[in-house]
Amino acid sequence: LERYNDKGDIVIKDLLIPEGFQVYVPVYAIHHDPEIWDNPEEFRPERFNKENRSKIHPVSWLPFGDGPRACLGMRLAMMEMKFAVVRLLQEFKIVTCPETEIPPVLNAGSNFTGPPNGVKVQVVSRETADDNDAE
């Protein structure tokens, strides 16, 4: 994220941020900071469940930016993604396969945090999976 200081010269402790200065928020560094996140490289979706959400610092998770210039489509994007995931999971199971890296090796230092070679999984129709489970 990048912003310009348009509020005049600002001093925070001993740091001067001159007017017009471009300020970058290091989102990748924040999202992978072990002082903020316990084992930041581990995929742990339970960090964001209702019980744990209150423990997260409000600006330590910035997938859509923050403040008045946050992504306008955030709510729409989240709703559409939830519908898509629900629909997919109603029809398919996602399972590991022999090519699945466990644990995944993440691409540190990139703007995209996924593994450099992607995540290999197998998508199985629930009907087929249920038929095989019955046998």
Residue numbering of the annotated binding site for heme:
71
- Residue positions in the annotated binding site? 71
β partners of residue 96: 121
119 residue type, one letter: V
Phi and psi torsions of 96, nearest 5°: -70, 160
d(CA 28, CA 114): 12
3-state helix, strand, coil in the chain (%, to 5): 30, 20, 50
